[in-house]
């Protein structure tokens, strides 16, 4: 303050007398906010302090080294500003009644604080239920920033599902503000009063859901404000005057007002109107399960690290030990919802086995699920949002809007879909990922929604039927063989989890035809790009089911697809199994069309090549070529089925060290594949040509082909082809380049072949590495 620099006596006297009794900091803040004039570091502050201490005009003038006229003008301005602050009539505030008026409007002399500047502001915050607040750094920083007087926000909302920690976060921020206010710290916004009101009707504890009385209307909120500020005049006023009375009182101080659980307040519109019309010096924080467009802060589940830290904190406080494996399992089962974590640890500390607690968490009728979701879901039953919620639960991975609308049976009601999904987001039951444009749902929410779905069996039956149909249509559009639709496999990858869920559900329901149709479309992707580890099991199930039903044509197709995998594996056992299955399939070949028979002959040729029986392999390739010719296909399909004949003949020439013949055939394969944009085969033939160049000592040609081909293999996500390029590059490096690079590439290739189950290739690469 300026007086401190001009008069040491003034500084000592004012700090001794004023700061021991007057709420001067609060008064200065309110004067600034109401009059738009700075009092912090100017002479007006010194004049005001002098008045409050009872100094005479002469004394103030002397200490400030100013004439009486200048001081008088300054004091006059202060009186007028106090009239503006308090609402008193013009020219009514004087030195004789200044203290009386300020006390009348709540600026009271208090108990002398400690020698260092501190105070105890009025508040009614409930005691924290934790020893240390964990996580939420980003949300906490955002909230504190918006609570700052420099931020224009007046009302702030914190929304999320029940139990996600909205109240805990707001209270943690409020306690930071309380500490900063009491101790005059600058690390959090400071207030003159902090008031907490809650409309929460129930509380979840380890053994039960407790009912509680909350402030469910505006009058009850007024009562809490009156009690927190120790001002009975609020509730003693007539009901019609209480609104204005509260506004008047709150306008005199910087106040943080928390309204918890807004969604359960009865006269919500009236409460929001009251909050909206509070003066700018009041910061309002609302917590709600429903999204309100008032500077919202969205709260979701805790990230893994924070969730595990909370588990260990709670376990330590309750004197129990939970190992890392169980901690991760508990996090997964709770979905990272703080309330569910605290509840579960409380149950374990009460003597319940962890497995039992985990089962209860997954139950839609358990305490956690009922506390978090029952109220929200009850409000939408029988409406479009309810159908959409149950439909969303069917998808294990986040779906796109079109899929949800179809499964809910609302494709032709786009307005209902849009408004319904918006309502689910308002209730924090669903979240739209702005990057993926997919609708996400927490695991606990999904468990509850699945239970809702089971309670409506007729709707579930139709929804599941639409779900299966949607993914069959999707697979028809984007799956199939890569020579026709290779550029669309990214769409299949995005929906892989949901597609697999459809397969498993149809299998469990014994819907063979749907599994058959879907697998025939996904087989190529599953084998060459996704490398599903259960693909052999699926094919065996389809073989058994098609045989049981006498579907011989499908049986032959599935035998071809399974033997293709067995031949790739190339172990002694897998080749033996493939031989037996192919012999049986050849007996049944007449049940299939000529193209399928050609594929069957190709697999027999491929098997004989692996067995190094090249004469028999050529015989089967001749049979394949004849069948393709007899099929009389249109040009593009003819090329597609004729390419494998040349391709495998070229491989035989390579194995027989007839490199010139092999090179000519592989070049022919590339030309034919380019005509139909069969990029996988182009990339494969290029790999073989690079191997031929290595064998013939053409260093530069081999390097050029390998560099070009490796780039395509890496971008295509074809791990088998990538491993083979790494194998070829290892050979090149070993012959002409770096032994260290050869070792690194060999190791990568071995790991790739192991992942694909290609045991023979692993052995060959190990020999090269050795």
Q: What does the pLDDT look like over 489-501, one tens digit per residue?
A: 788 989 999 999 9
Instruction: Note the pLDDT of residue 488.
Output: 65
- Using the predicted structure, report yes or no on whether residue 2 has a pLDDT greater than 60: no
Residue 319 sits in the same domain as residue 272: no
Instruction: Note the pLDDT of residue 105.
Output: 66
Residues in contact with 293: Cβ distance below 8 Å, sequence separation at least 6, in sequence order: none
Instruction: Note the pLDDT of residue 15.
Output: 42
Q: How far apart are CA 418 and CA 385, in angstroms?
A: 9
Residue 255 sits in the same domain as residue 205: yes
Question: Could you tell me the strand order of the sheet in which 193-198 lies?
Answer: 193-198, 255-260, 282-288, 155-159, 296-298
Give how far the C-alpha of residue 276 lies from the chain's centroid of Cα atoms, to the nearest Å: 32
Residue 390 sits in the same domain as residue 352: no
Instruction: Note the pLDDT of residue 38.
Output: 66
**Cβ–Cβ under 8 Å, residues 417 and 384:** yes
Looking at per-residue pLDDT, the higher value among 758 and 384 belongs to 384
Q: What CATH number should be reported for the domain holding residue 606?
A: 1.25.40.10
Residue 310 sits in the same domain as residue 292: no
Number of domains in the chain: 5
Q: How far apart are CA 762 and CA 386, in angstroms?
A: 53
Q: How far apart are CA 262 and CA 157, in angstroms?
A: 10
Nearest to 718 by CA among 763, 683, 768, 673: 683
- Using the predicted structure, report yes or no on whether residue 423 has a pLDDT greater than 80: yes
- Of all residues in the chain, what percent are helix, strand and coil, respectively (each to 5)? 65, 5, 30
Alpha helices in 550-678 (DSSP H): 552-569, 572-587, 594-610, 614-630, 635-655, 659-675
In percent, the amount of the chain with pLDDT more than 90 equals: 43
- Mean pLDDT of the residues in the chain: 84
Stretch 727-755: mean pLDDT, rounded? Answer: 92
Residue 572 sits in the same domain as residue 591: yes
Q: How far apart are CA 564 and CA 558, in angstroms?
A: 10
Instruction: Note the pLDDT of residue 109.
Output: 53
Instruction: Note the pLDDT of residue 350.
Output: 73
For 395, which DSSP code? Answer: -
Instruction: Note the pLDDT of residue 62.
Output: 63
Residue 236 domain-assigned (yes or no): yes
- Using the predicted structure, report yes or no on whether residue 122 has a pLDDT greater than 80: yes
CA 384 to each of CA 30, 276, 322, 370, 377: distance values in angstroms, whole numbers, following the listed order: 49, 31, 42, 21, 12
Q: What CATH number should be reported for the domain holding residue 325?
A: 1.10.8
DSSP sequence for 639-654? HHHHHHHHHHHHHHHH
Alpha helices in 207-295 (DSSP H): 218-229, 233-236, 239-250, 268-276
Residue 285 sits in the same domain as residue 316: no
Q: Sorting pLDDT into bands at 50, 70 and 90, what band is 34?
A: low
Label residue 106 left, alpha or beta by phi (over 0 means left) and psi (-120 to 50 means alpha): left
Q: What CATH number should be reported for the domain holding residue 246?
A: 3.40.50.300
Least confident of 168-177, 225-234, 464-473: 225-234
Residue 14: give the domain boundaries.
Answer: 2-104
Residue 246 sits in the same domain as residue 333: no
Q: Sorting pLDDT into bands at 50, 70 and 90, what band is 238?
A: confident
Q: What does the pLDDT look like over 285-343, one tens digit per residue?
A: 998 888 776 678 888 888 899 989 888 988 888 888 889 998 988 888 888 888 888 87
Residue 589 domain-assigned (yes or no): yes
Residue 11 domain-assigned (yes or no): yes
Q: What does the pLDDT look like over 550-592, one tens digit per residue?
A: 999 999 999 999 999 999 888 899 999 999 999 999 999 999 9
3-class SS of residue 676: coil
- Using the predicted structure, report yes or no on whether residue 687 has a pLDDT greater than 50: yes
Stretch 436-457: mean pLDDT, rounded? Answer: 86
Q: How far apart are CA 446 and CA 365, in angstroms?
A: 13
The pTM for the full model equals 0.68
**Helix pair 552-569, 594-610: axis angle to 10 deg:** 20
Residue 476 domain-assigned (yes or no): no
Residue 740 domain-assigned (yes or no): no
3-class SS of residue 84: helix
* Residue 2 tokens, joined: 């300026």
Instruction: Note the pLDDT of residue 365.
Output: 65
Nearest to 724 by CA among 672, 692, 688, 673: 688
* Residue 179 tokens, joined: 């500490």
Give ∠ CA 334-339-344 in degrees, rounded to 5. Answer: 60
Instruction: Note the pLDDT of residue 16.
Output: 43
Instruction: Note the pLDDT of residue 261.
Output: 83
In percent, the amount of the chain with pLDDT more than 70 equals: 85
Stretch 620-627: mean pLDDT, rounded? Answer: 98
Of 315, 343, 370, at which residue does a domain stop? 370
Of 659, 686, 712, at which residue does a domain stop? 712
Residue 79 sits in the same domain as residue 147: no
Stretch 133-157: mean pLDDT, rounded? Answer: 89
Q: What does the pLDDT look like over 382-395, one tens digit per residue?
A: 899 999 999 999 99
Residue 557 sits in the same domain as residue 592: yes
**Cβ–Cβ under 8 Å, residues 183 and 213:** no
The residue behind tokens 């149909």 is: 469
Residue 228 sits in the same domain as residue 260: yes
Residue 719 domain-assigned (yes or no): no
Looking at per-residue pLDDT, the higher value among 676 and 483 belongs to 676
Residue 280 domain-assigned (yes or no): yes
Residue 365 sits in the same domain as residue 385: no
Q: Is 363 exposed, middle or buried (0-12, 13-18, 19+ CB in 10 A)?
A: middle
Q: What does the pLDDT look like over 337-359, one tens digit per residue?
A: 888 888 788 778 877 788 888 77
Residue 550 domain-assigned (yes or no): yes
DSSP sequence for 289-311? SS--SSSEEE--PPPHHHHHHHH
Residue 195 sits in the same domain as residue 232: yes
Q: What does the pLDDT look like over 172-183, one tens digit per residue?
A: 999 999 988 888
Instruction: Note the pLDDT of residue 610.
Output: 94
Please give the backbone phi and psi of residue 356, each rounded to the nearest 5 degrees, phi first.
-65, -40
Least confident of 208-217, 262-271, 398-407, 590-599: 208-217
Q: How far apart are CA 470 and CA 482, in angstroms?
A: 22
Looking at per-residue pLDDT, the higher value among 211 and 505 belongs to 505
- Using the predicted structure, report yes or no on whether residue 110 has a pLDDT greater than 80: no
- Using the predicted structure, report yes or no on whether residue 90 has a pLDDT greater than 60: yes
Give per-residue burial for 316-351: e unless 16+ CB within 10 Å, then b.
eeeeeebeeebbeebbebbbbbbbbbbbbbbbbeee
Of 257, 276, 298, at which residue does a domain stop? 298
Q: How far apart are CA 197 and CA 211, in angstroms?
A: 16
**Helix pair 384-394, 414-426: axis angle to 10 deg:** 80
């Amino acid at each position: 303050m300026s007086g401190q620099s001009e008069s040491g006596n003034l500084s000592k006297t004012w700090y001794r007398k004023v700061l021991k009794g007057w709420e001067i900091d609060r008064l200065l803040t309110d004067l600034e906010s109401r009059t738009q004039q700075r009092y912090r570091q100017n002479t007006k502050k010194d004049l005001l302090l002098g008045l409050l201490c009872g100094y005479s005009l002469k004394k103030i003038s002397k200490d400030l080294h100013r004439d009486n006229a200048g001081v008088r003008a300054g004091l006059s301005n202060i009186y007028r500003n106090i009239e503006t602050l308090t609402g008193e009539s013009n020219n009514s505030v004087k030195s004789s009644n200044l203290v009386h008026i300020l006390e009348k409007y709540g600026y009271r002399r208090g108990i002398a604080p400690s020698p260092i500047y501190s105070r105890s502001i009025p508040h009614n915050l409930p005691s924290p239920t934790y020893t240390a607040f964990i996580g939420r750094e980003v949300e906490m920083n955002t909230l504190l920033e918006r609570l700052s007087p420099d931020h224009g926000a007046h009302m702030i909302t914190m929304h999320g599902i029940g139990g996600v920690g909205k109240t805990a976060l707001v209270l943690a921020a409020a306690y930071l503000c309380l500490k900063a206010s009491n101790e005059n710290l600058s690390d959090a916004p400071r207030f003159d009063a902090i008031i907490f009101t809650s409309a929460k009707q129930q509380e979840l504890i380890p053994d039960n859901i407790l009912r509680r009385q909350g402030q469910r209307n505006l009058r009850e909120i007024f009562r809490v404000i009156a009690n927190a500020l120790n001002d009975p005049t609020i509730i003693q006023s007539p009901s019609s005057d209480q609104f204005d009375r509260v506004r008047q009182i709150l306008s005199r101080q910087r106040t943080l007002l928390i309204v918890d659980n807004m969604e359960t307040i009865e006269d919500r519109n009236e409460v929001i109107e009251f909050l909206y019309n509070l003066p700018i010096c009041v910061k309002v924080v609302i917590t709600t399960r429903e999204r309100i467009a008032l500077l919202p802060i969205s709260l979701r589940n805790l990230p893994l690290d924070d969730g595990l830290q909370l588990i260990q904190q709670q376990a330590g406080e309750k004197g129990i030990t939970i190992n890392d494996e169980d901690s991760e399992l508990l996090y997964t089962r709770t979905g990272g919802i703080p309330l569910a974590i605290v509840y579960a640890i409380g149950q374990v500390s009460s003597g319940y086995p962890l497995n039992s607690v985990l089962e209860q968490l997954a139950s839609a009728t358990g305490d956690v699920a009922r506390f978090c979701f029952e109220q929200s879901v009850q409000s939408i039953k029988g409406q479009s949002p309810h159908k959409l919620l149950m439909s969303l639960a069917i998808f294990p991975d986040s779906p796109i809007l079109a899929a949800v609308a179809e499964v809910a049976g609302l494709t032709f009601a786009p307005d209902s879909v849009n408004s319904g999904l918006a309502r689910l987001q308002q209730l924090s039951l669903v979240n739209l990922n702005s990057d993926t444009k997919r609708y996400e749902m927490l695991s606990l929410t999904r468990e509850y929604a699945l239970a809702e779905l089971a309670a409506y069996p007729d709707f579930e039956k139709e929804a599941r039927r639409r779900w299966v149909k949607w993914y069959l249509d999707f697979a028809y559009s984007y799956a199939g063989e890569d020579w026709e639709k290779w550029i669309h496999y990214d769409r299949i990858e995005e929906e892989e989890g949901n597609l697999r869920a459809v397969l498993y559900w149809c299998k469990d329901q014994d819907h063979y035809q749907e599994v058959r149709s879907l697998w025939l479309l996904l087989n190529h992707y599953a084998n060459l790009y996704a490398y599903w580890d259960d693909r052999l099991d699926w094919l065996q199930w389809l073989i058994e089911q098609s045989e049981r039903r006498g579907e011989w044509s499908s049986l032959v197709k599935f035998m071809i697809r399974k033997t293709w995998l067995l031949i790739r594996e190339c172990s002694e056992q897998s080749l033996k199994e493939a031989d037996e299955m192919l012999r049986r399939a050849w007996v049944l070949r007449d049940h299939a069309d000529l193209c399928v028979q050609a594929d069957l002959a190709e697999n027999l040729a491929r098997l004989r090549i692996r067995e190094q029986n090249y004469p028999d392999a050529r015989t089967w390739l001749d049979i394949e070529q004849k069948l393709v010719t007899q099929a009389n296909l249109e040009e593009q399909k003819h090329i597609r089925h004729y390419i494998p004949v040349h391709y495998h003949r070229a491989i035989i020439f390579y194995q027989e060290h007839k490199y010139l013949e092999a090179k000519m055939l592989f070049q022919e394969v590339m030309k034919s594949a380019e005509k139909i944009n069969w990029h996988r085969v182009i990339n494969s033939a290029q790999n073989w040509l690079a191997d031929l160049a290595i064998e013939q000592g053409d260093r530069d040609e081999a390097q050029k082909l390998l560099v070009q081909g490796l780039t395509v293999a890496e971008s295509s996500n074809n791990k088998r082809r990538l491993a083979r390029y790494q194998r070829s590059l290892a050979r090149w490096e070993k012959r002409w380049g770096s032994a260290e690079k050869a070792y690194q590439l060999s190791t990568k290739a071995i790991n790739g072949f192991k992942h694909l189950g290609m045991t023979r290739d692993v052995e060959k690469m190990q020999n090269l590495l050795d």
